[in-house]
Amino acid sequence: MQIPRYQPVRKLGFNMTPMIDVVFLLIIFFLVSSHLQKQETQQELDLPVAASADNDIDQETPRVTVNVLDSGELLVAGRPLTQAQLIPMLKAVRDEKGEDIEVRIRSSRSAPWSKIEPVMLSCTKSGIWNVGFAVYRKEGG
């Protein structure tokens, strides 16, 4: 019986297919999520002008953007909502994302206050205290 003097070399391979699948899924996820985020601010509104406005620095705080049209119609993520649907939706988002959530109200400068006030009351009833308005910064201010 003869004993071989060398060990046969085995090639170890690395299967790249699962890693490529995961990378493609991540790419699709980020494309869809960025599309949904852009959809919130694509509504054409003539925003009010403010002399002092904060820069949008805090990107880590979860945010819900509510668009209030001149007609009083509410849009959240491009979907129309009624005032009655807004409170449960805000409560669900607060329960999911936590207490530190921001609601950004986007409305036209010509929208009457009677259309904006119910949105603020809905935030209060939902337990959300961090409410802000989207505005244009005044030139030179």
Percent of all residues in the chain with a pLDDT value above 90, rounded to a whole number: 15
Asked, for residue 111, whether it belongs to a domain, the answer is: yes
Whether pLDDT at 141 is above 90: no
Domain that holds residue 65: 36-137
Question: Does some domain include residue 59?
Answer: yes
30 within some domain: no
Over residues 65-114, the pLDDT tens digits come to: 888 888 888 888 888 888 889 999 999 989 988 888 888 888 877 788 88
In a domain, 28, yes or no: no
Nearest of 108, 109, 107, 103 to residue 124 by alpha carbon: 103
In the chain, the percentage of residues whose pLDDT exceeds 70 is 76
For the record, the structure tokens of 55 come out as 């820069």
Closest CA relative to residue 137, chosen from 68, 56, 66: 56
What is the DSSP secondary-structure string of 9-74? PPPP----HHHHHHHHHHHHHHHHHHHHHHHHH-S-----EESS---S---SS-EEEEEE-TTS-E
Whether 8 maps to a domain, the answer reads no
Residue 126 lies in a domain: yes
Token digits of residue 67? 């668009």
Asked, for residue 109, whether it belongs to a domain, the answer is yes
* Domain total of the chain: 1
Q: Looking at residue 35, what is its pLDDT?
A: 66
Higher pLDDT, 3 or 24: 24
User: Which tens digits make up the pLDDT trace of 74-87?
Assistant: 888 888 888 889 99
| Domain CATH code at residue 57 | 3.30.420.270
**Cα 87 from Cα 81, distance rounded (Å):** 10
Query: Is 24 a domain residue?
Result: no
